[in-house]
Amino acid sequence: MLFSRLIVRRIRLGSGLFLLLFVACHLCNLALGLVSVDAMERWRGALLMPWQTSFGQALLLAAAIVHASLGLASLASRHSLAMSRTDWVQLLLGLATPPLLLNHVVGLQVTSDLVARFRADYGYVLAVYWRYAPLFALQQLLVVVIVWAHGAIGLYSSLVLKRAWPRLAPIVIPILFAVPILALLGFAHAGEAVLARLATEADWRALIEQNLLIRREIGYRLGVIQVGVFLVYGVAVAAAVGVLAAKMLRRRSMRVMVSYDGGLTALGRIGMSVLEVSRANDIPHANVCGGRARCGTCRIIVPADADLDAPGEAELATLHRVQAPTDARLACQAHLLGRAVSVRRVYPAFVDATAAREPGSWLDETEANLEAVR
């Protein structure tokens, strides 16, 4: 394998954070619409210009391609669809983003790159969205919420496991709320101002319509680019889903029994992780990070001869961090190979992120908490 799972995971997280930073800058710029359209335009240089240089654009494009590719690769590498609700939301929001966003990117950035006299300033964009092509506005509004929700969930999932989270939370959470709300309010406020200007300033309206004409003139070329990207993305998604489906179909009859503590048993398939088996069979099993080998809360104690695959680098790093004993495995990374397996869950299903931040504290409390719930 060219890169270990740990490195791949870090690249995916890094590219995602890079994209989120860009989106945050973009939305902050949009929020300035609450002041005026001129303010939006003035601040565009500071907030968006770094991303609009050739280097910035290349970096942004690379981050988008890497993040999407690794997301699809992660989908294809799954062995079942037993995912948490948050993972489902993340997956669906992530899959919906590129097709919804493509129109915006092609219509503005690609057009600007192709035609030098095309002026894609905020006045033009808002005029198009509020007056000439309102359906695109609805699409972009939706994509703002989708992208932000996808990014916010990803950021939270990664930060909540850090020791610094209790100190960071009072800063990060208000920002996660404020940015999209202010951006949407700014969009609404600036849109009304643009509509009023369109109604009163004929010269400006003529300028906007001239810009629109340029956009129409190269409409065919833009259409070809758009269809090409759609096609590539569609093929990539179909391939990922196809690999997953083929894997699930091929192994549907290869049943493996998993025995848990407390006399519980569940049936899984070869290749599934123990956590996936727990999820598929409604067996309570802690998993704060959703099965990404980050938190260590899903860990299980297994016999030395358990028929499971060998632990990878990411799993070993997490097990080392939480000071797990040698017979411990992460249920999310321990995949069934064929023979029946017997496991003992370390944490109760109701642990929260503190168990990932301070693993020792929860182990002492576990028995007392179990008694309290009973």
The residue count of the chain comes to 374
Exactly one of 180, 268, 271, 359 binds another protein (CB under 8 A); that residue is 180
Report how far apart the first and last C-alpha atoms of the chain are (Å, whole number).
Answer: 47
- For another protein, the binding residue among 38, 201, 209, 352 (CB under 8 A) is 352
- Residue 345, amino acid: R
Residues forming a β-bridge with 344:
301
Which residues in 99-121 are b (16+ Cβ under 10 Å) and which e?
Answer: bebbbbbbbbbbbeeebeebebe
Q: How far is the CB of 349 from another protein (least distance, A)?
A: 4
Q: Pick from 142, 267, 310, 337: which binds another protein (CB under 8 A)?
A: 142
* CB of residue 286 to another protein, shortest distance in Å: 8
Indicate the residue among 305 and 371 with the shorter CB distance to another protein: 371
Stretch that binds another protein, among 66-74, 187-195, 222-230, 244-252 (CB under 8 A): 187-195
Q: DSSP label at 346?
A: S
CB of 145 to another protein, least distance (A): 5
Whole-number Å distance between alpha carbons of 102 and 80: 30
d(CA 46, CA 96): 29
Listed in sequence order, the residues at least 6 apart from 88 whose beta carbon sits closer than 8 Å to its beta carbon are none
**88 contacts another protein (rule: CB under 8 A):** no
Q: Is residue 188 near another protein by the rule CB under 8 A?
A: yes
Q: Taking CB under 8 A as the rule, does residue 138 contact another protein?
A: yes
Q: Is residue 187 near another protein by the rule CB under 8 A?
A: yes
Give the strands of the sheet with 328-330, arranged side by side: 328-330, 299-301, 344-345
Q: Is 347 in the site for another protein (CB under 8 A)?
A: no
Q: In the set 37, 144, 147, 346, which binds another protein (CB under 8 A)?
A: 144
Is residue 349 a contact residue for another protein (CB under 8 A)?
A: yes
Contact flag: residue 197 with another protein (CB under 8 A): no
Q: Which residue has the tokens 């299980």?
A: 300
Q: Using the rule CB under 8 A, is 359 a contact of another protein?
A: no
Residue count, binding to another protein (CB under 8 A): 37
Q: Using the rule CB under 8 A, is 177 a contact of another protein?
A: yes
Stretch that binds another protein, among 114-122, 189-197, 207-215, 237-245 (CB under 8 A): 189-197
> What gap in Å lies between CA 329 and CA 346, rounded to an integer?
10
Query: Binding residue for another protein (CB under 8 A) from 6, 35, 141, 241?
Result: 141
Q: Which stretch binds another protein (CB under 8 A): 65-73, 124-132, 201-209, 269-277?
A: 124-132
Closest CA to 353 of 168, 148, 177: 168
Q: ∠203-208-209 over CA atoms, to 5°?
A: 95
> Which residues, at least 6 apart from 238, have a Cβ–Cβ distance to it below 8 Å?
none
CB of residue 329 vs another protein: minimum separation in angstroms? 21
Measured CA angle at 155 (ends 67, 288), to 5 deg:
105
Give the max Cα distance, the chain: 80
Instruction: List the x/- string, 282-311, binding to another protein by CB under 8 A.
Output: x-x---------------------------
The single residue among 45, 134, 223, 228 that binds another protein, judged by CB under 8 A, is 134
**Cα gap 261→243, rounded to integer Å:** 34
When binding is defined by CB under 8 A, the residue of 32, 161, 184, 319 that contacts another protein is 184
**Rounded CA separation 173/31 (Å):** 18
Q: Show Cβ contacts of residue 22 under 8 Å, excluding neighbours closer than 6 positions.
A: 51, 60
How many Cβ atoms sit within 10 Å of the Cβ of residue 57? 13
Structure tokens that stand for 1 in this block: 């394998």
Question: Which one of 90-98, 186-194, 224-232, 323-331 is the stretch in contact with another protein (CB under 8 A)?
Answer: 186-194
Which position among 1, 116, 135, 249 is part of the footprint of another protein (CB under 8 A)? Answer: 135
Binding residues for another protein, rule: CB under 8 A, are 129-131, 134-135, 137-138, 141-142, 144-145, 148-149, 156, 160, 173, 176-177, 180-181, 184-185, 187-188, 191-192, 195, 282, 284, 348-352, 369, 373-374
